[in-house]
Every structure is written in structure tokens, then in C-alpha cells.
A = this chain, B = another copy of it.
Amino acid sequence: MQLRLGLPKGSLQEATFQLFRRAGYNITVSGRSYHPAIDDPEIAVVLMRAQEIPRYVSEGVLDAGLSGYDWIQENEARVVEVAELVYAKQSQRPVRLVLAVAQDSNIQQVTDLDGKRIATEFVRLTRRYLAAHGVTAHVEFSWGATEVKVPELVDAIVDLTETGSSLKANNLRVIATILESTPRLHANPAAWEDPWKRSKIENLALLLKGALAAYAKVGLKMNVPGDRLATVLGILPAMKQPTVSPLYNNGGWVAVEVVIDEHRVRKLIPALKEAGAQDIIEYPLNKVIP
């Protein structure tokens, strides 16, 4: 028995493979193959354009897939969302699907778009959004470079943006955010009902989330005199609660160990030192499972 899993080809591919590697799965792709090898004989991976994964998951050609919320919505795919996995090319932030016009256009809001032309890769999402706002406009499919088409070719675009820098470089102004999107592990409803497949998908989700959590967390260890323990524990924003262990033959000192968000470390370390902690070390983590 095998789980058929669709993973995104292209710009997210390398980050996806790295996440799987940290989760414990080695995926190796030879040349331009679309059927990479994975070191788990119970999984068969297919590489696909992210745009198409939700369609094939919803049709049952795949049991599960990894793609953005944006493409799940665009495909109107009926799938089970198993886990949100916020990893991405540049940042750990979600991408936004926005409606944008030229900086100096007199279009101010979606309702000004009546009778206008809009280019987008998300034709269905755009049409649903316009309909919900009672707007009638011409929506045309864009093969790419959508953001350079305003104002010469169209009046507005609906496009993805991560940092906004491409919009800015093309002198565009965002007038609405249609949705925010993050990668989702999603499953075909029938596969989700199959106990073996569901357990396989759930374990995969557990390990991917554990690996993803570890990107942003580190381990911290320190020695603390017994009488300062309460103070130190008061400062620590532990995942759950710190692991405190007695030291051997060392009159009341304890070792304290926590897992914390990396971005808090630079505030914490000076505070911990002041509170009496000594021999503080920070070490990297591969996985963190609560």
C-alpha cells in the first residue's frame, strides 16, 4: 500500500525537500524527473505545478498534496486541510493575493472596476470576488509578468505578493487583499477516511510540523543556584515547562533546560545572566514536538 503525495515543482521545491529532510524523509530527484525517489517505500511522490495539485487531490488521483491555500481556492477543490505549514521561499510569512492598480490611477476601490479589464492567473477567484462585490469586469488569463501589464494592457491585476517589492517596482497600488495564503498539507476526503492512509498522513503532518517548529526554536541550557531558580523560571517563556535537574554533589545548584523561540534569545540571555544563571549555552534543534 502506498500513499500518493503531490509536491510542488519549481520555486518552492528546494524548500519543500529541505523541510522533508529535516522531518526525516530523503527525497532525491534525478535530472528533470517528476517522480523523485523517497526513502519511505510507503510513499510515492509526484512533482507537479502547485497550481494543479489541489485539482488532482480533489479528484482522487493523489491521496494528499502540498500546495497553497490560494490554489486550493482557485481550483475550488474539495479537500481536507490537514496542516498549515508556514514555510516559503524568502520569508516565513504568508503571501497575499491582492488587487492592484497603477499608483496614479483614479480607481480607489473594487467597486470602481465596473467595465474595466483585469489580468490574473487566478481567474475564478477573481470572478468570485468581483461577483461578491457586485462588480462586472473583463477578467483575462495572464501567462505571467502580470504586474507589468498595468496600465498599458489592463486597468488592474490580481496577483500574489510576498514582500510587496515587485508591486512597488512596477508603481502599483494595492486596493484590496483578496486572501492570505500559506502552504497546506491537504488530503482527498476518501483517502482521509481510510485508516492506514489517514494515519500515514497524520504522522507525516506531525513530523513536518516538528521540523518546521525547530527552524525557529533553539535549546537553552544553564546552571542556576537553587535560591535563584524561581527568579530564572519566572523569566523563561518555555514551550511547556523547563526541564530542571539536580546537579551532583553541587550544593543546591540545578541544571535548567528549555526550548524557546530563537528571536527571544537576545532579550533573554542578558536577563538570565542578571538573574544568576551561569554557563548558558544555546544549541540548534532538528525537531520540536510538544
A180 proximal to B (CB < 8 A): no
A259 partner residues in chain B, CB cutoff 8 A = 279, 281
- A249 contacts B240, C-beta separation under 8 Å: no
| Interchain CB contact (< 8 A) of A263 among B24, B35, B281, B290 | B24
Q: In the bound complex, what is the Cα–Cα distance between A61 and B245 (angstroms)? A: 49
Q: In the bound complex, what is the Cα–Cα distance between A249 and B182 (angstroms)? A: 41
Over the window 47-62 of chain A, the binary record of Cβ atoms lying under 8 Å from chain B Cβ atoms (1 yes, 0 no) is 1110110001000010
Q: In the bound complex, what is the Cα–Cα distance between A247 and B105 (angstroms)? A: 65
A88 proximal to B (CB < 8 A): no
- B244 contacts A245, C-beta separation under 8 Å: no
Smallest CB gap from A204: residue in B: B266
Q: A56-B153, A223-B243, A246-B246 are in contact. Are A290 and B266 (CB under 8 A)?
A: no
Q: In the bound complex, what is the Cα–Cα distance between A221 and B243 (angstroms)? A: 10
A284 proximal to B (CB < 8 A): yes
Shortest distance from the beta carbon of A285 to any chain B beta carbon, whole Å: 5
| Interchain CB contact (< 8 A) of A284 among B25, B30, B56, B284 | B284
Of the 9-residue stretches A107-115, A127-135, A142-150, A188-196, which lies at the interface with chain B? A142-150
- A282 contacts B287, C-beta separation under 8 Å: yes
Shortest distance from the beta carbon of A247 to any chain B beta carbon, whole Å: 6
A49 partner residues in chain B, CB cutoff 8 A = 143-145
Over the window 23-46 of chain A, the binary record of Cβ atoms lying under 8 Å from chain B Cβ atoms (1 yes, 0 no) is 111000010001100011000001
- B223 contacts A282, C-beta separation under 8 Å: no
**Copies per assembly:** 6
- A269 contacts B143, C-beta separation under 8 Å: no
Q: A244-B250, A254-B248, A287-B281 are in contact. Are A262 and B143 (CB under 8 A)?
A: no
Q: A245-B246, A290-B278 are in contact. Are A24 and B265 (CB under 8 A)?
A: yes
Q: In the bound complex, what is the Cα–Cα distance between A146 and B109 (angstroms)? A: 38
A218 proximal to B (CB < 8 A): yes
11 more A-B contacts (CB under 8 A) besides A218-B286, A246-B246? A25-B266, A203-B266, A203-B270, A206-B270, A207-B270, A223-B240, A229-B248, A243-B247, A243-B279, A244-B247, A245-B245
Q: Can you report 23 residue pairs joining A to B where beta carbons are below 8 Å apart?
A: A9-B145, A24-B265, A30-B165, A40-B266, A203-B270, A206-B270, A206-B273, A207-B265, A207-B269, A210-B280, A218-B286, A240-B278, A243-B247, A245-B245, A245-B255, A246-B246, A259-B281, A269-B289, A279-B289, A279-B290, A281-B285, A283-B284, A283-B286
